[in-house]
Amino acid sequence: MSQDVSELLARYVSNTDRNVYTITNLPEEVIAVIFAYVSRSPASFRDNLVHLLADQELADVTPLPEDAATSRRVARASEQAQKFHEKWVVGYGHSSVAEHGVVHIGIERISRLASAALELSNPFLSFTEYSQRYQRPQRDRFVLPKELDRWPVQRETLESLQHLTFDAYERIEEGLFGYFAATNPPRANEDDGAYRRRIGRLGFEDARYVLTLAVETNLGMTANGRALRDGLIRLLGDPHQEVRSLAESLEAEASTVLPTLLRHIVPPPGRPALTGSRTAGAAGAAVCLLSATGEGSPDPCQEALTLLLGSAGHSAGVEPGEISLASYQTLFQARSEYDLIPDEAQQVSYRFRLQISEAAWHQLLRHVRRVNFVVSPPGVEAGVVVPQSIRQAGLEPLFRATVRAAEKAHAEIGAVSAEAAHYAVTNAHRRSLEASLTLAEMAHLVRVRGAANAQWEIRELVQAMAAEVDRVHPGLLAPLVGARA
């Protein structure tokens, strides 16, 4: 990076040479666009920002130089704000005030394992992440955990595994390109370039199943001070050294923007991993409904309707004797998938046990914010999900051989460090978890991940969950989903 570019960037980022940095002095919508780039672009946030600056896209928002009087006023205001927060946030414990302090952070070159821990740390943090569905990961971009610094043989095993899995990724991607080209003809008016990009993305989507959790990713995060503080405490209690180091970097960089709102961040007392101590277990059903509102009553659906129509029905003039599915549909029928889901739908809840691939778990985690998860650590005991396209393209033997190599490496590394072994788990390996969610969140899932353009595994998962909801509460879900645009 040239000196001129570095000086230009320094106006907007807290540092120009580390993997965690805050982004400031830009309009909120510009920051949103820069973060959105990460899902489709291999470039870093700083690189995308430089590109916009070079194209004069941000010429009108470049910070103006301040005179001495203005600088003194800004310093005075900052000092007064710090005193206020010291009194009310730190001194009086009004931590809700910290929710109004917001920070935008670019996070680069962390493992997929660490990104999942970060996204799980607090439901009020907002993320945009690099998408392996749309981009080809780079061969040498993976994380070797510090836990293996004492074990050079096992460290070499993990490093060799990364090259082996990327070799398999490239071969599977090439094979899938040919398979999809033969089975997906060009669309009407689709030029050759657009066609090849579309077919290529289909290959990316399924070839990534052989990559491991050590592969690097980038994220953009927006956080309010309270959510970030609580999330950092959880991350400092994570069993993985990479995650704990990430928490320390996040605290240091965020403190440049929120110096008094990030207080009392200390590691939690020793306890089992916060994501749960259960193991993955043997392979089982992908979706199992463990409990639902009204379970055990003669008519669970009527129990749910009574809750849903209790307050809403009273305000709409529905008498208790008129509580029915027809009344519910009249009151709650969404006109489209963009309608707000009524608050009453929070009154009905479900608890699922799921066994899904790491690939699907990352998608599920990123696209729900009101679901409570209890998650097993990554493992290889529950088997793998094999994309149908890989079977149909004759690539399953290569896929299986790669998975076996990962499982062998997992066992070897696990003999010296259980935490380091997690980096050898592939995107194909199943993760076991429990998810507690409401009817409202279930409708949101169906809207965003049950749609035809959703990735096939997450779509099938959501459809299976919806089928279980329909089984126990027939007719309650569909009105909240709304018609597709």
CATH code where residue 473 lies: 3.30.1360.170
Tell me: do 169 and 231 sit in the same domain. Answer: no
By CB atoms closer than 10 A (0-12, 13-18, 19+), residue 203 is buried
pLDDT score for 264? 66
**What long-range pairs does 247-256 form, CB within 8 A, spacing at least 24?**
249/18, 249/19, 249/20, 250/20, 250/105, 250/107, 252/20, 253/14, 253/15, 253/18, 253/20, 253/21, 253/22, 253/105, 254/22, 254/103, 254/105, 254/223, 254/228, 256/14, 256/22
Quick check: is 324 in a domain?
yes
Cα 417–Cα 419–Cα 425 angle in degrees, nearest 5: 105
Query: Is 108 found in the same domain as 51?
Result: yes
Segments forming the whole domain that contains residue 162: 158-214+388-424
Nearest Cα neighbor of 16 from 47, 38, 42, 54 is: 47
Is residue 340 included in any domain, yes or no?
A: yes
216-224 and 102-111 strand pairing? antiparallel
Sign of the C-alpha dihedral computed for residues 406, 283, 242 and 136 taken in this order: positive
Q: Is the pLDDT of residue 247 over 60?
A: yes
Residues 37 and 88 in one domain: yes
Distance between CA atoms of 137 and 414, rounded to whole angstroms?
26
Same domain flag for 51 and 182: no
Q: What is the largest CA-CA distance in the chain?
A: 75
Shared domain check, 474 and 355: yes
pTM: 0.84
For position 126, which CATH number holds? 3.30.1360
How far is it, in rounded angstroms, from Cα 319 to Cα 324? 10
Same domain (yes/no): 247, 330: no
Helix, strand, or coil (residue 263): coil
pLDDT score of 317 = 53
Q: How confident is the model at residue 86 (pLDDT cuts 50, 70, 90)?
A: low
In whole angstroms, give the CA distance from residue 394 to residue 202: 16
Is residue 144 in a domain?
no
Q: Does residue 230 belong to any structural domain of this protein?
A: yes
Give, for 107, the enclosing helix (H) or strand (E).
Answer: strand 102-111
- Arithmetic mean of pLDDT over the chain: 85
Percentage of residues in the chain having pLDDT higher than 70: 81
Is 73 contained in some domain? no
pLDDT at residue 95 in the model: 56
What order of strands is seen across the sheet that includes strand 102-111?
Answer: 20-22, 102-111, 216-224, 126-129
The amino acid sitting at 179 is: Y
Which one-letter amino acid corresponds to residue 174? E
Query: 18 with 116, same domain?
Result: yes
**309 plus 352 within the same structural domain:** yes
Do 113 and 163 belong together in one domain?
Answer: no
Per residue in 316-371, pLDDT (tens digit) is 555 555 578 898 988 899 988 889 999 999 999 999 999 999 999 999 988 777 89
Examine residue 245 and state whether it is found in any structural domain, yes or no. yes
Cβ atoms of residues 132 and 233 within 8 Å: no
**Secondary structure (3-state) at 168:** helix
* Helix/strand/coil for 283: coil
pLDDT for position 3: 81
pLDDT 10s digits, 92-150 = 455 565 666 789 999 999 999 999 999 999 998 998 887 777 778 889 999 999 999 99
CB 448 within 8 A of CB 367: yes
CA distance 377 to 357: 13
Q: Where are the alpha helices (DSSP H) in 269-350?
A: 300-315, 325-332
For the chain, the domain total comes to 3
Higher pLDDT, 384 or 131: 384
299 with 320, same domain?
yes
CB atoms within 10 A of CB 317: 7
Query: What are the b/e assignments for 346-361, b being 16+ CB within 10 Å?
Result: bbbbbbbbbbbbbbbb
Give CA–CA dist 455/376, Å, rounded. 23
In this structure, the answer to whether residues 165 and 61 fall within a common structural domain is no
Q: What is the DSSP code (8-state) at residue 185? A: P
Q: Residues 453-462: what's their mean pLDDT?
A: 92
d(CA 245, CA 233): 12
Give the Cβ contact number of residue 417 at 10 Å. Answer: 19
Mean pLDDT calculated for residue range 424-435:
97
- Determine contact, residues 133/205, Cβ cutoff 8 Å: yes
Q: Is residue 434 situated within a structural domain?
A: yes
| pLDDT above 70 (res 276) | no
32, 181: one domain: no
Q: Which residues contact 198 (CB under 8 A, 6 or more apart)?
A: 184, 190
The predicted model gives 191-217 an average pLDDT of 93
| pLDDT for the residue 310 | 75
Q: Are 319 and 310 in contact (CB under 8 A)?
A: no
Residue 280 lies in a domain: no
Residues 453 and 305: beta-carbon distance below 8 Å: no
d(CA 364, CA 411): 27
Q: What is the pLDDT of residue 407?
A: 98
pLDDT at 87: 53
